[in-house]
Chains A and B, each alone.
Chain A
Amino acid sequence: MEFVTFFLKQHNRMFALLGQHMAIVALSLSIAACIALPLGYFLSRTRWISVAVIGAFSTIYAIPSIALLVLLVPVTGLGMRTAVVVISIYAQFILLRNVVISFQTVDPAVLEASRGMGLSALEILLRIELPLTAPSLISGFRVATLSSISVATIAATINSGGIGILMLEGVRNLHMVKLVWGILLASALSLTANQLLTRAETRFSDRARGLDRRKQKNVSQEIYDASL
């Protein structure tokens, strides 16, 4: 009962915090992806450098997020900005590694054929590599998203806003209902994001493997059966 009354009274603020949380995550992920995609693509071509750069990022990743947040406060101040910087760095590591590995696992025969037939690097990227790496890229993006949602919760400690604020207040004031609502919202956000991205991953994975049957209206059922 208490849960419902709390919600009825506080829902405006709760949704505002949820929105803030999503904004922090979205902004951080966009920044990270804008760097990771091109950088990862180029790093994937040269194995040595990619190992070095990924090594450097994994060192940063080893630092607990709370420590990194506090460490950056003197530089970027309290609040959302620091949160975005830290979350971008964490997401960057996950994404970069994932982008490099995704591009490196494209079948070399497919790349050799596309190069041999005279496609430009851009054509190969857009028509061949991106469709083939999409499932793996989305999978990495999903992991980065979940990680960012959770780090964004912790970032409440440096006053970044977001759902973490509900939890912090709940703990500080021993306000059980508030705390549980915070946990519920954060979990719901994570689960929804996970669900959506998993679905996208499956869709793109079917396409990449040639299991997308929408173009096959003319292909008879026997042919499916024979091929499976």
Chain B
Amino acid sequence: MSDVVIALNKATKRFVGMKQNAVSEVTLDIDGGSFVTILGTSGSGKTTLLKLVNRIHELTAGEILFNGQNIHELKVEEYRKKIGYVIQQIGLFPHMTVAENIAVVPESLKWNKNTIEERVDYLLELVHLNPAYYRNRYPAQLSGGQQQRVGLARAMAAEPGIMLMDEPFGAIDSITRKILQDELLAIHKKLGKTILFVTHDIHEALKLGGKVIVMDDGKVQQYDTPYNILFRPANAFVSRLVAAENTLEKLQVLRVGAVASPARHSDNPNIPRVNEAETLSNVLAKFMETGAPYLGVTDDSGRVNGEVSWDALRSVASLRNEGMEYYV
């Protein structure tokens, strides 16, 4: 599934009375099933861009296509039900239990009761909340992290193909945030939903995103893989943005796939293995623990489909940030 699900074509938003565009001529394609993060400083237009997609804001100019259809021509409420929406402030309905919160959209779509009940339990388990304990709790009886899990479950209730997430973990402590990030990655892997995820945390953007949209001043500065954002910044802005990341931080966000090569030693059953989705920092740990000169890279079924050598890993540390010249 790699068809384009959302296509922006010179999408532009200027708020009434403003001199500048909040989002300016953004043209890009979001592939189905991809996890795209939107990174940028405060006021760069990340939230506005997201809200243009689910029509909380309407475009000033340009167009946005959803599976090839102009979203302006779709019935807004029906369209929004196909898109999950998660915000930093969560916005759970305080007068409804967890189960009732999750059931709102399915009920609005007139799903039958049993289907909804099953769906609620499934989703609660998916976000690691035991249904038996949490179903009938009210939002006020949950921690911030638990509330955002419910927010995530609620957004996925009616099986939307796309999730829009606006700094969902922004108000959550760093330990819980890391756990939630890993769980979200697992959910993405499992369900293959398209995710558009806004953050101003560069680490989060590079770690989660298969591709990253870097925004500044309402414009897209670069739309690329984390590896290219780090090592081939498109301009001075991106270059400055990533300059602060040290080697260890890069290793924490890059994944094996970025440095793996085709398997040459796959016949050797004794080589240590790593999953292709592992971060390079875990690969580094494995090298240090095992002393092996290379590691086999496996897919989820455990099949070896490539390898990483110690030299390839080291090259990440020594890779020159080719954008540095921009601001020397």
Contact = CB atoms under 8 A, between A and B. Distances in A.
Given A117-B85, A210-B95, A210-B140, A218 B135 contact: yes
- Bin chain A's interface residue count: 20 to 34
Given A109-B89, A110-B91, A127-B104, A215 B141 contact: no
B149 interface: no
A223 interface: yes
B133 A208 contact: no
Contact of B93 (A115, A128, A218): A128
B167 to A, nearest CB: 12
B310 interface: no
B133 A219 contact: yes
A209 B78 contact: no
B66 interface: no
Contacts of B13: none
A131 interface: yes
B81 to A, nearest CB: 4
A136 to B, nearest CB: 13
B211 interface: no
B105 interface: yes
B95 A208 contact: yes
Nearest to B50: A116
Contact of A117 (B80, B96, B132): B80
B79 A118 contact: yes
22 contacts: A109-B90, A109-B91, A110-B94, A112-B89, A113-B85, A113-B93, A114-B104, A115-B80, A117-B80, A118-B78, A119-B77, A132-B93, A132-B94, A207-B95, A208-B95, A209-B138, A210-B97, A216-B136, A216-B137, A219-B136, A223-B137, A227-B140
Interface string B64-100: 0000000000001111111111010111111111000
A23 interface: no
Nearest to B109: A118
B248 interface: no
A38 to B, nearest CB: 22
Contacts of A227: 137, 140-142
Given A109-B90, A113-B151, A117-B154, 6 more contacts: A119-B77, A123-B108, A210-B95, A212-B95, A217-B136, A220-B133
Contacts of B108: 118-119, 123
B274 interface: no
A111 B139 CA distance: 16
6 interchain residue pairs of minimum CB distance: A210-B138, A113-B91, A118-B80, A116-B85, A109-B89, A109-B91
Given A210-B138, A210-B141, A215-B97, A116 B132 contact: no
A120 interface: yes
Contact of A112 (B56, B77, B154): B56
Contacts of A217: 136
A29 to B, nearest CB: 25
Nearest to A208: B95
Interface of B: 54, 56, 76-85, 87, 89-97, 104-105, 108, 132-133, 135-142, 151, 154-155, 164
B76 to A, nearest CB: 8
Given A112-B87, A116-B56, A118-B108, A223 B93 contact: no
Interface string A33-64: 00000000000000000000000000000000
Interface in A191-228: 207-212, 215-220, 223-224, 227
A210 B80 contact: no
Given A116-B85, A227-B142, A210 B77 contact: no
Nearest to A120: B77
B98 to A, nearest CB: 10
B80 A116 contact: yes
A107 interface: yes
A218 B99 CA distance: 13
B132 A218 contact: yes
Contacts of A224: 141
Given A118-B77, A123-B108, A211 B138 contact: yes
Contacts of B84: 117
Contacts of A107: 89, 91, 94
A113 B104 CA distance: 11
B95 A132 contact: yes
Interface string A89-124: 000000000000000000101111111111110010
A115 B89 contact: no
B87 A117 contact: no
Contacts of B90: 109, 113
Interface in A158-213: 207-212
Contacts of B132: 218
B77 A223 contact: no
